Chains A and B, each alone.
Chain A
Amino acid sequence: MSVPPTPNWSALREDFPILQQQVHGKPLVYFDNAATSQKPRSVIRSLVHYYEHDNANVHRGIHELSNRSTGAFEAARARTAKFINAGSADEIIFTRGTTESINLVANTWGTKNLKAGDVILLTELEHHSNLVPWQMLAQRTGAKLAYVPVTGDEGLLDLSQLDALLTPQVKLFAMVHISNSMGTVNPVAEMCARARARGITTLVDGAQSAGHLPVDVAAIGCDFFAFSGHKICGPTGIGVLWGRPEVLDGMPPWQGGGEMILSVGYHHTDYKHAPHRFEAGTPDISGPIGLHAAMDYLDAIGRENIWRHDQDLAAYTYEQLAALDNIRLFGPKSGRAGLVSFLLKDVHAHDVVTLADQAGVALRGGHHCTQPLMHKLGVESTARASFYFYNTRAEVDRCVEVVREIQKFFGG
Chain B
Amino acid sequence: MFEDLNDLYQQVILDHCKKPRNFREMPQCSCTAQGRNPLCGDQLQLFLAMEGDTVRDASFVGSGCCISKASASLLTEYARGKTRAEIETMFSQVHEMIKTGKVIGDVGKLAVFAGVYKYPARVKCAILSWHALMSALKGDQQPVSTESEQN
**Chain A residues close to B by CB (< 8 Å):** 24, 346-351, 354-355, 358-359, 366-367, 374, 380-381, 402, 405-406, 409-410
Contacts and interface: CB of A to CB of B under 8 A. Distances in A.
Nearest to B119: A354
B4 A354 contact: no
Contacts of A347: 66
Interface in B1-57: 1-2, 4-5, 8-9, 14, 18, 39-41
A348 B63 CA distance: 9
Contact of A354 (B14, B39, B64, B121): B121
Nearest to B39: A366
B122 interface: yes
A405 B121 CA distance: 22
Given A346-B18, A367-B41, A409-B9, A359 B65 contact: no
B14 A348 contact: no
B2 A350 contact: no
29 contacts: A347-B66, A348-B64, A348-B66, A350-B40, A350-B125, A351-B9, A354-B5, A354-B121, A354-B122, A355-B5, A358-B2, A358-B4, A358-B5, A359-B1, A359-B2, A366-B39, A366-B40, A367-B41, A374-B41, A380-B41, A380-B63, A381-B40, A405-B1, A405-B2, A409-B1, A409-B9, A410-B14, A410-B18, A410-B66
Given A350-B40, A351-B9, 11 more contacts: A349-B65, A350-B65, A350-B125, A351-B67, A358-B5, A366-B40, A405-B2, A406-B2, A409-B5, A410-B14, A410-B18
Contacts of A409: 1-2, 5, 9
A351 B5 CA distance: 11
Contacts of B121: 354
A366 B41 contact: yes
Nearest to A25: B4
Nearest to A374: B41
A58 B120 CA distance: 41
Contact of B66 (A351, A374, A380, A381): A351
A358 B7 CA distance: 12
* Most chain B Cβ neighbours within 10 Å, of A348, A374, A381: A348
Contacts of A410: 14, 18, 66
Nearest to B11: A412
Interface residues of B, number: 20
Contacts of B67: 351
Contacts of B65: 348-351
Contacts of B14: 410
A380 B64 CA distance: 8
B98 to A, nearest CB: 15
A57 B9 CA distance: 53
A351 B119 CA distance: 12
A349 B67 CA distance: 12
**Max count, chain A CB within 10 A of own CB: residue among B1, B14, B40, B125:** B1
Contacts of B63: 380
B41 A381 contact: yes
A359 B1 CA distance: 7
Contacts of A405: 1-2
Contacts of A406: 2
A247 B40 CA distance: 39
B89 to A, nearest CB: 30
A169 to B, nearest CB: 32
A146 to B, nearest CB: 25
A2 B14 CA distance: 56
Contacts of B125: 350
Contacts of A346: 18
Contacts of A349: 65
A374 B41 CA distance: 10
Contacts of B66: 347-348, 351, 410
Contacts of B8: 354
B39 A402 contact: no
Contacts of A402: 1
A405 B14 CA distance: 15
A173 B22 CA distance: 49
B121 to A, nearest CB: 7
A51 B5 CA distance: 43
A341 to B, nearest CB: 14
B137 to A, nearest CB: 27
B47 to A, nearest CB: 21
A316 to B, nearest CB: 22
A399 to B, nearest CB: 12
Given A351-B65, A354-B119, A381-B40, A24 B4 contact: yes
A409 B4 CA distance: 12
A359 B4 CA distance: 10
Contacts of A359: 1-2
B20 to A, nearest CB: 12
Interface core residue of B9, B40, B65, B121 (most chain A CB under 10 Å): B65
Which are the 3 A-B pairs with shortest beta-carbon distances? A380-B41, A348-B65, A350-B65
Contacts of B4: 24, 358
A409 B10 CA distance: 11
